[in-house]
Amino acid sequence: MALHKDEAIVLFKRAYGESDKIIRLFTLKSGKIAAIAKGGSKSQKRFMNTLEPFNHINVEYFEKQEKGMVRLENADIVETNCGIETSLKKACTAGFFTELVDRLTKERERHDELFQILKEVLQQVKRTELTYMEILYYHLKILETLGFMPNFTDCVYCGNKMDEEDKVYFSSQRGGILCASCSSSLPHKTYQAGVIEKVLSFRKQGREIEDPKTYRFFEREVQDIMEGFMSYHLDVEFKSYRLLKNFVLK
C-alpha cells in the first residue's frame, strides 16, 4: 500500500463500530476521498480534535490502487473550525457549502480551484455571519467552477442572445433562461426584468445591493430561481440548505 500526504478539508464524519470513524475529505491533490480512521474515537495522539467537520488538516493515508476507502494514518490541524460553532447561522452556512461540494463532486477528481474556494468561504464563515448575497456569491462561484452554472445569457432552447430587459423567463427544467418565443411552449417562471441580469453582474462584481427594499425583493426572487434550478436540474436537495433557509434566510 502506498502512503500519501495531502491537505484536506473535513466534509463529514460518523462513528463506525466502537472506536473507528468514517470520514469524507476534500483533498487538494486527490479531490474527494472516503477514509477510515482506525481508533479514531479513542486515539488521543493521532486524531484528537482533528477530524471534526470544517477543519482544514494535513493528512497521511494508505490506499490500494487509488480506489476504495483509504486508511487514515495521521492528521494534523492546519486551521480548526473554531468560530463556526458560535451561531446557528454560521453552522448552517458552513454545512451548506461542505454539503454542496460533497454532493456535486465525484470521488478522486482533483479540483484545485474548488479546494481554494471552499477553504476561503469557511474562513469567512468563521469570522462573520455571511449575508444571503455573500452566500449567493460563493454558491455561484462553486457552480461555475464545477460547470453547473445556470445559463443566464442565452436562450437555453434556441440559443439566441438576449438583452437584459428580455431576461424574464427562467426554466428550472432546462437550466436557464428562455426567450419570449420559446417560453410560450416550455414550462418556466416569469421574473421581474433586471433580476436575472443582476445575478450575472453580482457574480462578476460581488457587490451588495444597498437599498433594503430592493435587497429583500431580489433575495426572494433569486432564492426561487436557485432553489428551482438545484431541485430540478441537478436533482439534489440539501438538508443544510433547508435549515439555513428556515432559520436565517426568511
pLDDT at res. 45: 64
Average pLDDT, the chain: 88
What percentage of the chain exceeds 90 in pLDDT? 62
pLDDT band, residue 99 (cuts 50/70/90): very high
Residue 204 has pLDDT above 60, yes or no: yes
Residue 237 has pLDDT above 80, yes or no: no
Q: How many CA atoms lie within 13 A of 202 on its CB side?
A: 23
CB of 162 closer than 8 Å to CB of 143: no
Q: Domains in the chain, please, with CATH?
A: 2-79 (2.40.50.140), 151-233 (no CATH)
Phi, psi of 119 (to 5 degrees): -60, -40
What percentage of the chain exceeds 70 in pLDDT? 89
pLDDT at res. 211: 56
- Report the C-alpha gap between 207 and 199 in whole angstroms: 10
- Report the C-alpha gap between 155 and 161 in whole angstroms: 7
Q: What share of the chain is helix, strand, coil (3-state, %, to 5)?
A: 40, 25, 35
Q: Tell me the whole-structure pTM to 2 decimals.
A: 0.89
Q: Which residues, 6+ apart, have CB-to-CB distance to 230 below 8 Å?
A: 236, 237, 238
Phi, psi of 79 (to 5 degrees): -150, 125
pLDDT at res. 240: 78
The answer to which of 41-45, 144-148, 169-173, 185-189 has the lowest mean pLDDT is 41-45
Is the pLDDT higher at 44 or at 51? Answer: 51
Residue 234 has pLDDT above 90, yes or no: no
CB of 32 closer than 8 Å to CB of 105: yes
pLDDT at res. 206: 57
Q: How many CA atoms lie within 13 A of 228 on its CB side?
A: 21
DSSP string, the chain: -EEEEEEEEEEEEEEETTTEEEEEEEETTTEEEEEEETTTTT-SSSSTTTSSTT-EEEEEEEEETTEEEEEEEEEEEEE--TTGGG-HHHHHHHHHHHHHHHHHS-BT---HHHHHHHHHHHHHHHHSPPPHHHHHHHHHHHHHHHT---B-SB-TTT--B--GGG--EEETTTTEEE-HHHHTTS--EE--TTHHHHHHHHHHH-PPP-SHHHHHHHHHHHHHHHHHHHHHTS----HHHHHHIIIII-
- Report the C-alpha gap between 221 and 246 in whole angstroms: 16
pLDDT band, residue 214 (cuts 50/70/90): low
CB of 77 closer than 8 Å to CB of 49: yes
Whose cell is 460518523? That residue is 14
